[in-house]
Amino acid sequence: MCLIMPPDKDWIDLLSALTTPIIAAIGIYIAFQQRSVNKNRLKHELFNKRYEVYENIGAFISEILTSGTVRAGADFEFLRDTKAVYLLFDKDLKEFTDKIYKKSVELHCLESELSSLTGEERTEALRKESIIKKWYSDQLETMESKFVKYLKLEH
């Protein structure tokens, strides 16, 4: 019995025809892998930016609570360090940082006026100052819950 084998040219033609789809499939696979890597890199970079803002807000509040005052220029540093809030977070966190800034300005004004006040005016200014510091303390305690949805790493 004699086996008839196809000529070598047929095998070469077949392999040549399969080469293009195989290369295309490999290219598609690589493209999807690159997309996945880029998506994860974006998540990582976004997390880093958001965490930096979170840390800056916490440090600012902690400094106020530790020293009891708003250091000269600290409010402007706070604005600089949190300027990207409106890009990185939602409207609520933008309003939160705006309120932190406004309260720091109010506290700074009270501190400036305090030395020249006496009697009931001084007592009222100290009461207002105490209310603001209590507000800052409350914000520091609840700050994590405001940021958790942005800082949670989910894969």
11-53: pLDDT as tens digits: 777 778 888 889 999 999 999 999 999 988 988 899 999 999 9
Residue extents of the structural domains in the chain: 50-151
Decide if pLDDT at 146 tops 70.
Answer: yes
What predicted TM-score, i.e. pTM, was given to this entire model? 0.75
Question: Each residue of 49-76: pLDDT tens digit?
Answer: 999 999 999 999 999 999 988 888 899 9
- Alpha helix (H) ranges present in 2-151? 8-67, 74-81, 85-88, 91-114, 119-151
Tokens of 68: 């009891």
Tell me the pLDDT band of 10, cut-offs 50, 70 and 90.
confident
Q: What is the pLDDT of residue 153?
A: 74
**Among 59-73, 104-118, 128-142, which is the least confidently predicted range?**
104-118
Decide if pLDDT at 2 tops 80.
Answer: no
> By the 8 A CB rule, do 97 and 85 touch?
yes
For the chain, the average pLDDT equals: 88
Average of per-residue pLDDT across 105-126: 87
Alpha carbon distance 5, 124 (integer Å): 105
> By the 8 A CB rule, do 146 and 96 touch?
yes
Decide if pLDDT at 110 tops 80.
Answer: yes
Decide if pLDDT at 147 tops 60.
Answer: yes
Alpha carbon distance 97, 83 (integer Å): 9
